[in-house]
């Protein structure tokens, strides 16, 4: 069963649009929080003020939960566009087994916090006001590397693991869209299992050097095992077979 491309494009675009609004909202709320506490400085760190840090973490927790809810809503729409006979609750338990999507959004939130510490320090050093900082964040939401806030940042220090861009909005978008694609892959697995497939083989969708994906590739996997997307930006896909396991 092919992934419904029109539905994928529609839901992915819808997620990015709503995620952009949430990103803009939480960044401005965090900036306002820091200035309200008069905590901005050239060596700013949230953890220097435990009360401020706790408030920031609460905002980021809500941010992560909201993004996960938005992604799950889109994943549900993909499942419904693909299947008309299956319970969504069971589907999502496979798509987000172990709350992996929530965990990835949590990671993106921690990356945002780290980057915001640098932005606030740079704003103080360059005499950028709170209002100007809020404007810069919004103006360069989709192209942060063009922002004056990136000047002086040692980019090599911002390495967050495979699939996590330095562009936080891109991180969030990739994670959410990965959940949507995961839902489509899961619906495909359900349908292939229903039709009698016996096993599948993971195929690499790119030549990127990924040991995790390479270790799982080209190995027959019983149809009882759902297809997994192990990390953001994973391009692997299943090829289904109806004969006995080789």
* 175-196 confidence digits (pLDDT tens): 888 888 888 888 888 889 989 9
Band (pLDDT 50/70/90 cuts) for residue 26 is very high
- Indicate whether 169 and 88 sit together in one domain: yes
Among 145, 178, 211, residue at a domain's last position: 178
Q: Is the pLDDT of residue 90 over 80?
A: no
Report if residue 61 sits inside a domain.
yes
- Indicate whether 128 and 245 sit together in one domain: no
pLDDT score for 218? 92
pLDDT score for 157? 57
Residues of the chain above pLDDT 70, percent: 83
Q: Is the pLDDT of residue 83 over 90?
A: no
- Indicate whether 151 and 245 sit together in one domain: no
- Indicate whether 49 and 170 sit together in one domain: yes
Q: Is the pLDDT of residue 142 over 70?
A: no
Among 178, 205, 229, residue at a domain's last position: 178
- Indicate whether 72 and 111 sit together in one domain: yes
**Tally of domains in the chain:** 2
- Indicate whether 11 and 53 sit together in one domain: yes
- Indicate whether 210 and 142 sit together in one domain: no
Report if residue 157 sits inside a domain.
yes
Q: Which domain holds residue 235?
A: 197-246
- Indicate whether 133 and 202 sit together in one domain: no
Average pLDDT in the 10-37 region?
Answer: 92
pLDDT score for 169? 85
Report if residue 183 sits inside a domain.
no
- Indicate whether 143 and 241 sit together in one domain: no
Report if residue 106 sits inside a domain.
yes
Band (pLDDT 50/70/90 cuts) for residue 98 is very low
Q: Is the pLDDT of residue 1 over 50?
A: no
Residue of 87 and 132 predicted with greater confidence: 132
Average pLDDT in the 70-90 region?
Answer: 73
Q: Please state, rounded to an integer, the average pLDDT across all residues of the chain.
A: 82
Report if residue 223 sits inside a domain.
yes
Report if residue 69 sits inside a domain.
yes
Q: SS in 3 state form for 135-189?
A: HHHHHCCCCHHHCHHHCCCCHHHCCCCCCCCCCHHHHHHHHHHHHHHHHHHHHHH
Report if residue 48 sits inside a domain.
yes
Among 178, 207, 230, residue at a domain's last position: 178
- Indicate whether 123 and 66 sit together in one domain: yes
- Indicate whether 222 and 133 sit together in one domain: no
pLDDT tens, position by position, 190-226: 889 989 999 999 999 888 888 888 888 999 999 999 8
Report if residue 139 sits inside a domain.
yes
- Indicate whether 140 and 65 sit together in one domain: yes
pLDDT tens, position by position, 143-187: 666 777 766 565 555 555 555 566 788 888 888 888 888 888 888
């Amino acid at each position: 069963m092919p992934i419904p491309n029109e539905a994928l494009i529609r839901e992915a675009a819808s997620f990015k649009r709503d995620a952009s609004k949430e990103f803009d909202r939480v960044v401005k709320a965090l900036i306002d929080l820091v200035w309200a506490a008069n905590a901005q400085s050239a060596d700013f760190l949230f953890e220097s003020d435990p009360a401020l840090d706790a408030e920031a973490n609460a905002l980021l927790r809500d941010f992560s939960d909201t993004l996960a809810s938005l992604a799950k809503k889109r994943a549900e729409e993909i499942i419904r566009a693909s299947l008309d006979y299956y319970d969504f609750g069971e589907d999502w338990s496979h798509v987000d087994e172990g709350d992996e999507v929530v965990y990835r959004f949590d990671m993106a939130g921690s990356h945002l916090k780290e980057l915001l510490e640098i932005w606030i320090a740079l704003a103080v050093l360059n005499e950028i006001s709170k209002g100007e900082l809020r404007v810069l964040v919004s103006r360069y939401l989709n192209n942060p590397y063009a922002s004056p806030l990136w000047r002086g940042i040692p980019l090599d220090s911002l390495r967050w693991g495979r699939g996590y861009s330095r562009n936080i909005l891109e991180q969030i978008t990739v994670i959410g869209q990965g959940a949507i694609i995961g839902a489509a892959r899961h619906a495909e697995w359900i349908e292939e299992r229903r039709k009698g497939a016996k096993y599948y083989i993971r195929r690499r969708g790119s030549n990127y050097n990924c040991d995790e994906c390479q270790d799982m590739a080209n190995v027959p996997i019983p149809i009882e095992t759902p297809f997994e997307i192990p990390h953001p930006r994973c391009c692997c896909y299943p090829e289904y077979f109806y004969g006995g396991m080789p």
